[in-house]
Amino acid sequence: MMRQYELVERVRRYNPDTDEALLNRAYVYAMRAHGTQKRASGDPYFSHPLEVAAILTDLRLDDATIVAALLHDTIEDTATTRAEIDELFGAEIGALVEGLTKIKKLDLVSKQAAQAENLRKLLLAIAEDVRVLLVKLADRLHNMRTLHYVPEVKRNRIAEETLEIYAPLAGRMGMQAIREELEELSFRQLSPEAYRTIVGRLESSRERHIQAIAEIEAQLTKKLADNGITAEVTGREKRPYSIWRKMERKTVGFEQLSDLIGFRVIVGELAECYRTLGIVHTTWPMVPGRFKDYISTPKQNGYRSLHTTVVGPGRQRVELQIRTRGMQDVAEYGIAAHALYKDGNSAYERLSSDTQAYGWLRRTIELLAEGDSPEEFLEHTKLELFHDQVFCFTPKGRLIALPRRATPIDFAYAVHTDIGDTAVGCKIDGKISPLVSELQNGSEVEIITATGATPPAAWESVVITGKARAAIRRATRAAIRAQYAGLGRKLVERAFERAGKPFDEPRVIASLHRLARTSLEDALAAVGRGELRANDVIKAVFPEWTEDVSVPQQQRRQPEPITEAGWFALARARSVKFKVPGHGAVSPAGPAIPIRGINGDLPVRFAPDGGAVPGDRIVGILTPGEGITIYPIQSPALKVFDDEPERWLDVRWDVDGQERHRFPARLKLTSLNEPGSLAQIAQVIGERDGNIDNVRMSRRSPDFTEVTIDIEVFDLKHLNAIIADLRAKSVVSSVERYNG
């Protein structure tokens, strides 16, 4: 167990001005408070807060955070009170310890509603002082390191909570080393067989990897030195969990992975990052589509670096990260890299104001006030935690970070809810584009709005961000409410007219308490929904009025039935499908035509450039005399028909699972220019039972060839499996589906 002077020395290494008396006092107090308590391992309980403090010294955190780590279990597990800590160590440290005590009581792996509410409390505790999260992450890291001492029934729950909540939070705070270790320890607990398999494979190839790392380190260091750049070049194997996620994402085997080694190049100055990149790219061929500049466009957690992949020595793919020492500190320590300065501000103020990562946390907390339910908040937060990002710009240059696969609709809601609610179109890089387009890094997005426009309910299934989904749901509910209120108003006005009473809004509003309603719109909507009778509103305004019961029920004037058009309007607002006699299935956009394929019940053909497959969201374009052409919703070819809305049809797949039909799709590949590459590509498609219809090749450079392949597949899942297998081939640099 670490001695008192050893802890002080660890802090003094990075903070010569540390308050040694404060650290010593906290060490002794925590040790006495925990007394003879033992951990599951049999070690003295005090060893745990001491190890947590040691982890935080590696992150070079301030004295208050180190002291809070030493005391973080005292209120929960001993007779210590908040008042006592405030008196002995100050209110700042007392608040940190109390925040950690609240978090410890939360169960983040439970049924969805409870989990969502607890996640709210977690983020609120963090928002008060982000150092609470830093201590909690260190606490969770040490608990995961000693998880094997915990009773077996609890291990999976703790590991699941770590993988779902704490590891992503560490990533959002930029603390990659802690995130990776938390993921690794959770993966080992939750998927022990997969973990052992990957570790075994890595060990069997380690000697080859060590040789490759040494060779590339030496070559790259010499090449940079010859150009006057002093650089620290280090290589390492990828982590087992990172490898497992890639295997899962691409549905490939271990032997199909070609980039198991990554290299980091640390240089002295910012300008040398770009010089290094130029040297690397002129020495070895760059793999297209694998370059990312996070220096000019940092990630939301403050991470800055250049990323590229080249075909290095021995035609081996080499991933490189190029950054300065300062960037490396932020990459390693994340938000913690901002904790110590020589000015007079507190660590909390610096962490709050100096970091983009804390900005993300503040924006997430703002959603607490907007969420209509804990489940919606949970959905949004998990989407934010787990998605990689794409960076786009407004026409005025404002940077908007969104999850990958986000659409201009997500972009609009990220700028402002009102812009999203009134969006009717968009321009991407100056060109009119569909609102369902997938945004790419660096795109400039201009949202076109219209006064009075409302978002279609169908957008909810298109958008990616939780903020957009929640706003669309609210707008949909508001539209339904407005429709019911409008219907209720007509019913009430007619009822007042039949009763010979004047319909006076102020008098109705003054009588709402008798109807147990808080607003006129509430009351009218309740009448429209049938929850409240129109005559009840009359009685509330005119208590002396009695309903005429002398007229037989069947002779009383009934409210006029809602017309078919009225039901269609309600259906559009509610985004439901229903049947009207003689009309068949009706969707919010009109009749939904079942599509069975080229040989089906309708004169149907598929888009000439790229086709469509079951699983795609599709639309039909009607051409008089020729039939219907089916396009995937993401096809750029649909722009031609933007000004002809009368030709657009809502269509859906109606494929018989017993009778498998093939459908057309097109792939664009970039392959290495070497003997046998096309044969390997064809073999992958054949083994997956895909049918090649046409192949076109063009030489892009001496090292790479562009290949366009028209294939026939059964559905989207089949197509994605083929794409995943192709991406795993070392001869394939990139492969994407193409829709012209």
The residues carrying an active-site annotation are 76-77
Structure tokens at 204: 């069997």
Exposed (0-12), middle (13-18) or buried (19+): which is 237, by Cβ within 10 Å?
A: middle
Going by the DSSP 8-state scheme, the letter that residue 638 receives in this structure is G
**What are the residues facing 692 on neighbouring strands?**
711
Task: Please classify residue 524 by burial: count the beta carbons closer than 10 Å to its beta carbon, then call 0-12 exposed, 13-18 middle and 19+ buried.
Answer: buried
Closest listed residue to residue 481, CA positions, set 560, 573, 577: 573
For residue 463, the tally of other CB atoms under 10 A from its CB is: 27
In whole angstroms, give the CA distance from residue 574 to residue 588: 9
Could you give the residue ranges of the DSSP H alpha helices within 511-555?
512-515, 520-529, 534-541
d(CA 262, CA 282): 19
Separation of alpha carbons 180 and 177, rounded Å: 5
- How many helices (H) and strands (E) in the chain? 30, 22
Q: Residue 440: helix, strand or coil by DSSP? A: coil
CB-based contact 12:62 (threshold 8 Å): no
8-state DSSP, 164: I
Rounded CA Rg of the chain = 32
Question: 637-674 burial, b for 16+ CB within 10 Å, e for fewer?
Answer: bbeebeeeeeebbbbebebeeeeeebbbbbbebbbbee
Ranges of H-type helices in 615-693: 677-687
Cβ atoms of 301 and 357 closer than 8 Å:
yes
d(CA 531, CA 514): 15
Helix (H, G, I), strand (E, B) or coil at 380: helix
As a whole number of Å, the end-to-end CA separation of the chain is 65
Dihedral sign from CA coordinates of 186, 188, 193, 196? positive
- Give the tokens for residue 415: 């700028």
Query: What are phi and psi for residue 417, nearest 5 degrees?
Result: -60, -40
3 state SS of 597: coil
Which residues have C-beta within 8 Å of that of residue 305, sequence separation ≥ 6? Answer: 294, 295, 321, 322, 323, 327, 331
Residue with tokens 């030709």: 647
CA distance 114 to 375: 9
- Could you tell me the CA-to-CA distances from 576 to 137, 457, 462, 525, 715 in Å, in that order? 45, 9, 16, 19, 26
DSSP secondary structure code for residue 351 in this structure: H
Map tokens 């929640």 to a residue: 470
And the tokens for 323? 């950054």
Residue with tokens 């997005």: 445
Other Cβ atoms less than 10 A from the Cβ of 48: the count is 21
Q: For residue 379, what are the CA distances in angstroms to 158, 183, 470, 486, 712?
A: 21, 21, 9, 33, 36
Q: Most distant CA pair in the chain: distance in Å?
A: 106
Decide if 409 contacts 462 (C-beta within 8 A). Answer: yes
- CA 265 to chain CA centroid, nearest Å: 29
Helix or strand run (H / E) with residue 265: strand 261-267
